[in-house]
Amino acid sequence: MPRDASAVAASSARPVYLQLPPWFGNAAEAPVRICGKVVGAQPGMTVRLAIDVPDPGVWSGREVAVADDGTFDFGSMPAGRYLLLAFGTQPMSRVTPIDTTRGNGGNAELIVDACHPVHGWFWKTSDRDSRDAIPAAGVGVELSGWILGTTDATGAYHVCVPELRDEAKLRVPGFADPPAGYRADLQGRYLLWPEHLSVGIVHRADGSPALNVGVQPIWQTGDMDHRGCRPASVVVTTDAAGRFVYNGATPLCGFRVLRGATMHDARYDLLRFELPQIVTLPAAGSERHLFDEPTDSKNWRPGSQRSMSSSDAEVALRRMR
């Protein structure tokens, strides 16, 4: 959504780290300098910095030019997990994760190599049935929060990715994760599924609203007797009332709440399926990890993200009535 000039001016006047999601990083640690070198750098190359979360596109990221000697420097950033990518006209590095809470932000090394051209099709559905899919024309194709290109009138994309396996990580912002087993149709076209918004509320241990925490839905991938759970590729942010919106089209195991360096898992309340889900956080130090292992960047896949707004909540509540 375009921002007005005053909003842009106010944003550019603030330190970059203030534009990060409020739940990102470890505020208890001092900021860490992120810098390093691009091996095989060519003139005019740039390094992109993103955050290593389910949807890196939640933050616009930063870019700096590579110096003549191949070095780059983003200065001090809040301690947390980030992604680095060096790119030029064609050659680029692989998407490289760094965790500055472990002190490795100051010696990052990015190795440039030829990128890999890939092509395919994105089609979108009007509901949960793939039989009515139509081409998704003119949409951005994203990798780790970075728009690589756009689709044509037939929904086709032609982009260059750092590694061939990155094609499976391509996403289109604004759509929900597909249900398990429905990533592509019989023609090999990748399917984009609409969101069906539902509302949840996060309370702190004392009952007050939990403002600016991240909430990651955990999807159910099996039946109730032998169900498996996997994190969605989206994190939403609670508003001043502790509310968040999420895609309720797929059965859920529960929710994972992110606050700084900690996370807490809560199961989906089946008795409230027609009411807003309520997650009550425990006191610090009593967090539970119920779904698989604690969220790890190696298993995260970037996807579409949206933050909570009052209008979102009202729309979702009307749909639920």
Q: Report pTM.
A: 0.72
Which residue, 270, 274, 255, is CA-closest to 321? 274
Question: Is residue 2 included in any domain, yes or no?
Answer: no
Q: Count of domains in the chain? A: 3
The residue-averaged pLDDT of 161-181 equals: 82
Same domain? For 122 and 98 the reply is no
pLDDT band at 224 (very low <50, low <70, confident <90, very high): low
Separation of alpha carbons 136 and 152, rounded Å: 8
Same domain? For 299 and 244 the reply is yes
What per-residue confidence (pLDDT) applies to 241? 94
Same domain? For 132 and 224 the reply is no
DSSP state of 89: S
The residue-averaged pLDDT of 57-84 equals: 92
Q: Which of 170, 192, 214 is the last residue of a domain?
A: 192
Query: pLDDT tens across 52-63, in order?
Result: 888 787 888 899
What per-residue confidence (pLDDT) applies to 230? 80
What per-residue confidence (pLDDT) applies to 12? 35
Domain residues for the domain of 168 are 116-192
What per-residue confidence (pLDDT) applies to 311? 41
Question: Is residue 10 included in any domain, yes or no?
Answer: no
Same domain? For 100 and 123 the reply is no
Same domain? For 122 and 166 the reply is yes
Q: Which of 113, 137, 165 is the last residue of a domain?
A: 113
Separation of alpha carbons 137 and 62, rounded Å: 28
Q: Which two tokens stand for residue 297?
A: 């960047």
Question: Is residue 9 included in any domain, yes or no?
Answer: no
Kindly state the helix (H) or strand (E) to which residue 8 belongs, with its residue range. helix 5-13
Q: Which of 113, 140, 162 is the last residue of a domain?
A: 113
How many helices (H) and strands (E) are present in the chain, helices listed first? Answer: 2, 22
Question: Is residue 1 included in any domain, yes or no?
Answer: no
Which residue, 235, 175, 174, is CA-closest to 200? 235
Separation of alpha carbons 60 and 77, rounded Å: 14
Say which CATH number the domain at 250 has.
2.60.40.1120
Length of the chain: 321
What per-residue confidence (pLDDT) applies to 186? 65
Same domain? For 223 and 300 the reply is yes
Separation of alpha carbons 277 and 144, rounded Å: 29
Phi, psi angles (nearest 5°) of residue 192: -110, 125
